[in-house]
Structure 1
């Protein structure tokens, strides 16, 4: 692969069940599909695209339906997990490939995991960043989240807050850039609230999520220009498509009943931040990996790292990803 090819970033729109998916590609070689989380876009993989290309892979970062330049169906139930899995499979086909490695962060990790679970014919390996795999099943999500508030119900978990149509949009959309800056800072290692401060994952009854966000300097990983990229996209698209992912969790629970307790058997990788709440809240899921991810190659916890790990620690993330990819059969 020539250096010129490795440095060539291509934007394209490819057909999908949603209509079209925006994909950003770099490099040539085995396909690695990169799936972002909330509230991000393909741009969250800006450090991984050139690193994977230089290592001999065709890296393709997409905008999940509802985000960026991808289609945004009006129906809330168009954002259920089965639909997103089929989008991913359609992207692989549209790029002229039969199979791919899929890597996801945050919601993208869950989407990647379920893509590997539902379409093992397409996705032969899976990398999970920040959010560990939890097999389908258990209590209905909305009921579980409803019990996560503080004693007496004076707090509400952010997922429950996001699930009510229009509610979070009313908070975020009047000041998209400021809200994003606070949300990113709240979950970043260098700017997150000090221990003992009110948890930014919860909303005080009658309040707003941003009431608990830190103010001041941006996280070290986020420049003003980076923030502009994210803000401009969400100012254009609004937040409903992104938030609709949270509004389908009960539908997913019902849709995936046939996969209750099912392991993912393909080769897998897990990377998380030591200071990410997902690492502690979902510690039991990580401990269950020998059963739930029997093909797990390695599990890494990055020190001094929050939730946005591939942006907070891009070099470490790139090294772990490329090392793992090099072990996979081609």
Structure 2
């Protein structure tokens, strides 16, 4: 269903993480449909740019997890609940999580770090249950 079906002529587009690539493509192809475009976690990069790896730091999770099999190698060392826990801890900080060449993204989390105060143990269990059913490959 097109936004025109709802009488919406223009909209703000907000994108996060891997969704930035799709949203960037929409912004380039349909600029007249947008009032504004916001990216979170990843800067705007022209779609099809061959400089994506140059534009993003090599140890940045978006760069790392785009490498075929890299996220699976990183994640399979832990149970699903630990992976979800680590992701929410990592991405609730103000610093960008950058791994060294000899590290994976999951290695950046100190296991004694508590969950962010806005993410409860019940939330963690609910999200982990969903990822146990879906796996991580397609949701990433």
The TM-score, its normalising length taken from structure 2, stands at: 0.68
1:103 aligns with 2:7: no
**CA deviation digits over 1:79-120, x for unaligned, max 9?**
xxxxxxxxxxxxx42893364523223333443333122134
Q: Which runs of 5+ in 1 are unaligned?
A: 1-91, 150-155, 193-198, 244-330
Residues 32-111 of structure 1: pairs in structure 2 closer than 5 A: 92-93=1-2, 96-97=5-6, 99=9, 101=11, 102-111=13-22
CA RMSD of aligned residues (A): 3.4
Paired position in structure 1 for 2:34: 124
CA–CA distance in 1 between the matches of 2:43 and 2:60? 19
1:185 aligns with 2:89: yes
CA contact 1:185–1:214 (8 Å) conserved in 2: no
Paired position in structure 1 for 2:66: 163
Tell which structure's C-alpha radius of gyration is larger.
1
CA contact 1:145–1:159 (8 Å) conserved in 2: no
Structure that is richer in strand per residue: 1
1:239 corresponds to which of 118, 136, 139: 136
1:221 is paired with a residue whose SS is coil
The offset of 1:189, in angstroms, is 3.4
1:140 corresponds to which of 27, 38, 51: 51
CA–CA distance in 2 between the matches of 1:241 and 1:159? 14
**CA deviation digits over 1:188-223, x for unaligned, max 9?**
238x6xxxxxx7421442x43212113331012211
CA–CA distance in 1 between the matches of 2:130 and 2:14? 22
CA–CA distance in 2 between the matches of 1:93 and 1:138? 28
CA–CA distance in 2 between the matches of 1:104 and 1:157? 18
- Divergent runs of 4+, >6 A: none
Residues 1-330 of structure 1: pairs in structure 2 closer than 5 A: 92-93=1-2, 96-97=5-6, 99=9, 101=11, 102-120=13-31, 123-130=33-40, 131-136=42-47, 139-142=50-53, 144=54, 148=57, 156-173=59-76, 174-189=78-93, 200-205=97-102, 207-215=103-111, 216-243=113-140
CA contact 1:177–1:227 (8 Å) conserved in 2: yes
> How many residues are treated as equivalent by the alignment?
135
1:188 is paired with a residue whose SS is coil
CA contact 1:113–1:133 (8 Å) conserved in 2: yes
Over 3 Å counting, the alpha-carbon distance change for 1:203 and 1:242 in structure 2 is farther
CA–CA distance in 2 between the matches of 1:172 and 1:165? 13
1:201 is paired with a residue whose SS is coil
Over 3 Å counting, the alpha-carbon distance change for 1:137 and 1:204 in structure 2 is closer
CA contact 2:18–2:62 (8 Å) conserved in 1: no
